[in-house]
């Protein structure tokens, strides 16, 4: 089920249009709300409708919000998502490819079940590809042509944490996806970049403040940053003219153990 809210009666086509996956919580919710504050029309996507509706309820008055339940690892769900966006808004200016999962934390590689590996790969990599492909097709075909895709990488796209083989492998792969899409999108005015985030304060990182396993085998608390700071970075990247692109951005808690990790 999808719903649209536009209290002012303004036509959605007058606004820039974004799709945010994983918009029911964390970085996705914060980024979606930041874009809505900036006047974007935003399609909120995720696996469960209720958290998406909760995000929509936080939108500023007069916002254009479309809620579409979709599992990004399922091709039919992704096709339905972008079809709904096209039918309601008529075009697409931004995909924030944010949906992702860490998988079972703290599991040594030799004990990681194949099903868990596959779930992380299906969501983080296959899902990102499917959404990017659908967005790319629409941006190439629409008039005026073009748009922007921002992939949510991670600090783990550069340096792993202990016992994070599935997550780290997918985030490294996402960097290759970003580079390839960026190159292939040039002739069509499609700009593609990646934001690599470290220790934003979300449910996913809640345990880091009490103690996270370090590369030396010790467990230590880690600082976090306000997720709103990530959201503002996403919006900055999104609102650049298509002639300019942030290819890669790293935004992280200043004192987190990343530089020199290991």
Catalytic residues: 167
Cβ atoms within 10 Å of 2's Cβ, excluding its own: 20
Angle in degrees, CA 125, 141, 170, rounded to 5: 5
Residue with tokens 């399922």: 74
Whether 98 contacts 28, CB under 8 Å:
yes
Count helices and strands (H / E) in the chain: 7, 10
What length does the chain have?
Answer: 262
Whether 94 contacts 43, CB under 8 Å:
no
Provide the 8-state DSSP code for 15: S
Provide the 8-state DSSP code for 214: -
Whether 239 contacts 38, CB under 8 Å:
yes
């Amino acid at each position: 089920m999808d719903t649209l809210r536009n209290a002012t009666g303004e036509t959605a086509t007058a606004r820039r249009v974004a799709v945010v996956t994983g918009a029911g919580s964390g970085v996705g919710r914060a980024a979606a709300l930041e874009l809505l504050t900036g006047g974007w029309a935003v399609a909120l996507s995720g696996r469960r409708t209720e958290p998406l509706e909760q995000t929509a309820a936080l939108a500023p008055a007069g916002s254009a919000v479309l809620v579409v339940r979709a599992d990004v690892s399922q091709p039919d769900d992704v096709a339905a998502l972008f079809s709904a966006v096209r039918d309601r808004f008529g075009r697409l200016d931004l995909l924030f490819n944010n949906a992702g999962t860490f998988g079972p934390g703290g599991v040594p590689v030799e004990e990681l079940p194949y099903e868990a590996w596959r779930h992380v790969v299906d969501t983080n990599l296959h899902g990102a590809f499917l959404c990017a492909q659908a967005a790319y097709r629409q941006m190439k075909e629409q008039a005026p042509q073009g748009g922007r895709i921002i992939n949510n990488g991670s600090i783990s796209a550069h340096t792993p944490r202990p016992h994070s083989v599935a997550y780290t492998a997918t985030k490294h792969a996402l960097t290759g996806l970003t580079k390839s899409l960026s190159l292939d999108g040039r002739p069509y005015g499609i700009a593609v970049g990646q934001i690599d985030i470290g220790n934003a304060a979300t449910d996913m990182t809640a345990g880091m403040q009490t103690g996270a396993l370090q590369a030396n085998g010790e467990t230590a608390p880690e600082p976090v940053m306000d997720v709103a700071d990530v959201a503002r970075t996403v919006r900055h990247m999104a609102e650049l003219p298509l002639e300019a692109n942030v290819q890669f951005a790293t935004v992280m808690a200043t004192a987190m153990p990343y530089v020199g990790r290991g």
